[in-house]
Amino acid sequence: MVRHPIDQIGGAIVAHGPERLRFFSDGWGDLSVTERVTVPTGVPDPIRIEWVSDTADDGLVTSVGIFESPADMLPVHARHGAVTRILPEAGTDRTVVLMAAWNEHDSRARFGIARRLARQGIGSLVLENPYYGIRRPDDTDGQPIRTVSDFFRMGIGAVMEGRGLLATVRETGHTPGVAGYSMGGNMSALVSSTMPFPVATAPLAAAYSPSPVYLDGALRGGIAWDALGGEEAAESKLRQALLSASVLDRPAPDHARYAVLVSATADGYVPPATTELLHAHWPGSELRWVRGGHASLLWFRKATLASAIADSFDRLIRAGGTTAS
């Protein structure tokens, strides 16, 4: 696999960075959480958001809201959810839920995409991920995902919250959508695969599962293997655990045929073949290739990413997939 030079540098930094930034440094944790909690596939309850501030500037309205997470398996500090809404001042009839990327402790990249979308008439709900930002377990700057079970709690919580926010969007009469970059792209695909009503979907630089990302890409060097019992002993168990979050294990929803996927040709974090597998699992979906790597796609091609999200709405709506009830 050809890796973009920037991604190679990023991988080296991950591999040789300080111990406090390594993932799973406290070991496996309680993996029974994956057996006790299942993400439902029925119509979710809308999340009730308390909007606490509004700011209007340059034709956009930005609001900050808080909510109680529907994911009761989250630790107490992470159950208090936060979301930022960015809308065109003129209003909209479509809104996308933007899921967080790995280690995204601020939302500047998603805010940039959301502002581009707002200027195209599309609103965004930018979800603060469990364990990230103000939902961190403490105020230190170390890695908040300290066990494998933390990772699953975060993922299940984010999927449940994404589902609830889509129901909130639908309740307002807007066509709902979900998108995200990297881990957020995988999360958006998981969320979309559970939805019983049509959802515009744009997984960006996304794998079908976290497994190949952490074990076959640049993030592998950031795993605290000693805490898991050693690399040789732990790799197979970790791969199987992470594969339990595979979109390929879920039937493709009808609206998946209108999804737009984006992949970088030299992505060093998300092996491009894993995006191809997701695309193949969703017949009718569109896969767009962009020259470059994982970091360069996010840093320099935000307009391309925003266009993919906008086009996923257009494809769904042209097919009659509006969801206002």
Q: Is 325 among the domain residues?
A: no
Indicate whether 324 belongs to any domain: no
| pLDDT given for residue 325 in this prediction | 41
Q: Tell me what pLDDT residue 21 has.
A: 82
Which residues, in sequence order, are bridge partners of residue 202? 179
Q: Check residue 114 and give its pLDDT.
A: 97
Numbers of helices and strands, H then E, in the chain: 10, 9
For the segment 103-116, the average pLDDT, to the nearest whole number, is 92
Among the residues of 172-301, which ranges form H helices? 183-193, 210-216, 231-243, 272-281, 294-300
User: Residue 143 has what pLDDT?
Assistant: 85
Residue among 33, 249, 74 nearest 161 (CA): 74
Residues 6+ apart with CB under 8 A from 140: 20
- Summarised one tens digit per residue, pLDDT across range 252-298 is 999 999 999 999 999 999 999 999 999 999 999 999 999 999 999 99
Tell me what percent of the residues of the chain surpass a pLDDT of 70. Answer: 97
Q: What is the mean pLDDT of residues 8-14?
A: 88
> How does residue 140 score in pLDDT terms, banded at 50, 70 and 90?
low
Q: Residue 16's pLDDT is what?
A: 83
Residue 249 lies in a domain: yes
Kindly state the tokens that stand for 43.
Answer: 């119509």
CATH at 225:
3.40.50.1820
Convert the pLDDT of each residue in 34-80 to its tens digit: 776 677 789 999 999 999 999 999 999 999 999 999 999 899 989 99
Asked whether residue 165 is assigned to any structural domain, the reply reads: yes
CA–centroid distance for 139 within its chain: 23
Q: Which residue has the tokens 């894993």?
A: 274
pLDDT higher than threshold 70 for residue 324: no
Residue 283 lies in a domain: yes
Q: How far, in whole angstroms, is CA 227 from its chain's centroid? A: 26
Give the three-state DSSP class for 261.
strand
Structure tokens at 110: 């998603």
For the chain, what is the mean pLDDT?
A: 93
Q: How far is CA 97 from the centre of its chain?
A: 9
Q: Which of 19-23, 31-35, 176-180, 272-276 has the lowest mean pLDDT?
A: 31-35
The model's pLDDT over 153-169, given as tens digits with 9 standing for 90+, comes to: 999 999 999 999 999 99
Q: What distance in Å separates the CA atoms of residue 180 and residue 178, rounded to the nearest whole number? A: 7
Asked whether residue 279 is domain-assigned, the answer is yes
Supply the range of the domain harboring residue 240: 5-318
Instruction: Read off the amino acid at residue 113.
Output: I
Average pLDDT value for residue range 123-150 = 88
Give the total number of structural domains in the chain: 1
Edge-to-edge order in the sheet of strand 200-204: 50-57, 60-68, 80-88, 123-127, 94-99, 175-181, 200-204, 260-264, 286-290
User: Considering the domain boundaries, does residue 238 fall inside one?
Assistant: yes
